[in-house]
Amino acid sequence: MKFYKKAKFGAIASSILLATSFHADAATSILASSYVINLTSGTNTTTFEKVNGASWVSESMGYLGWTHFSKWGSVSLTKGKPVSIVVDATAIAGFHPGITVWQRRSKVDLPSVLPAAVAKDATPTAAQALFYVNSHSYDQASNILVPNAKDETNNVVVGDISMEYVASGYDVDGLGDKFTLDATTKSLRPYNAATDATATVFGPYLPAGFTTTGIANSKKLSDAANAATGVLARTPGRVELTFTPKTTGIFQFVVGGLKPDVGSAAAVNAGKGVGNVHALKVTVTQK
C-alpha cells in the first residue's frame, strides 16, 4: 500500500489549474476503442477486445481511468425502461471489471456502425464527433463538459462534448490487497496467486488510493442470489450494472479493469498497455 504526505494548498491549487488548462479543450478520439451496440429484441452481447486489467482505475493515471486502455460502448436507449449491462471477465483469472455509463448529449442519432476514421486535417462529421472524449484519463463518476473541444492531433474543432453521468460500479468480489504469511520471515507479504495457492490468505483490503471520488461514488457490486437456491454466488470477474434512463437518447459506457490479483493473468503488464489485452463479454439489455 502507498501512503502520501499532505501537500500544501498552494501546490495543490497550482496542480489543479495546470491540469485544467491542459485538458480544458482537448479531445481525443475513441473510435479505435469503441463498439456500437444495436439492441435486437432488447438485448445484445458483444466481445470487447483488448481490455487492460488496470484501466478503469489506473495507478499510473492517479487512480483515474485510462481512456485508451479501456473500451467504450455506445447504445441508443429509451426513457423509463430498465437497463442492465453485464460485464463478464470470469474467463480471465484475477480480472475485476469496472463500468461507467454517461448519457451523451447530441443532436444527431447514433449510427448503426462505427463511422470511418477522421482523415488527417479534416474536421470530424457529427457522427465522428460522437466518438471523441475529453482526455486520456477520466473520472469514474463525474459529468463531462468540454466546450469547443479540439482534436488534439490536428487542432480542428470537434464541438461541445457533453456527457451526463448516469451510473457506475465495479466488481467487489475478491477485489483488493491480499496477504499471506511468508514461510521464512513469518511476516505478512502480498499474496501471489501463482505461487501461494495453498497458503493462508488475509484480506482483501482496498488500498488507500482507491478512496478517490470516482471509486467512492461507484457501487460495489456482487453477483445476485441464485434464482433456484437463493444463495449469493460471489463470482470474481463478473459485474452487472442496472439503471433506468431518464430521457431517450445516446448512452456511452466505458469498461476496464481495476486492481488485478497479484500473480494472475490479469496482472501481466497491467497498466502498461502491452501484453495485458483481454477479451470481455458485454451484454446490454433493455426490457
Quick check: is 122 in a domain? no
Quick check: is 86 in a domain? yes
* pTM score of the predicted model: 0.85
| Nearest to 166, CA basis, from 91, 226, 254 | 254
Quick check: is 6 in a domain? no
What pLDDT shows up at residue 228? 61
Quick check: is 80 in a domain? yes
Cell triple for 272: 502498461
Number of domains in the chain: 1
Give Cα separations from 124 to 4, 132, 176, 261 (angstroms).
42, 10, 41, 40
Per-residue confidence in pLDDT tens, the chain, 287 aa: 443 333 443 443 333 333 333 344 789 999 999 999 999 999 999 999 999 999 999 988 989 999 999 999 999 999 999 999 999 999 999 999 999 999 999 999 999 999 999 998 899 999 999 999 998 999 999 999 999 999 988 889 999 999 999 999 999 888 888 889 988 998 988 888 888 888 888 887 777 778 888 998 999 888 755 556 655 557 889 999 999 999 999 999 999 999 999 889 999 889 887 766 899 999 999 98
What pLDDT shows up at residue 262? 87
Domain range holding 255? 42-112+165-286
What pLDDT shows up at residue 205? 79
Task: Say how many CA atoms lie within 13 Å of 268 toward its Cβ.
Answer: 12
What pLDDT shows up at residue 22? 38
Quick check: is 178 in a domain? yes
Contacts of residue 8, Cβ cutoff 8 Å, sequence gap at least 6: none
The CATH number that applies at residue 261 is: 2.60.120.1220
What pLDDT shows up at residue 204? 79
Evaluate whether 234 touches 173 at the Cβ level (below 8 Å). yes
How far, in Å, CA of 266 to CA of 225, rounded?
Answer: 26
60-77 burial: b if 16+ Cβ within 10 Å, else e: ebebbbbbbbbbbbbbbb
Quick check: is 235 in a domain? yes
| Nearest to 280, CA basis, from 104, 45, 79 | 45
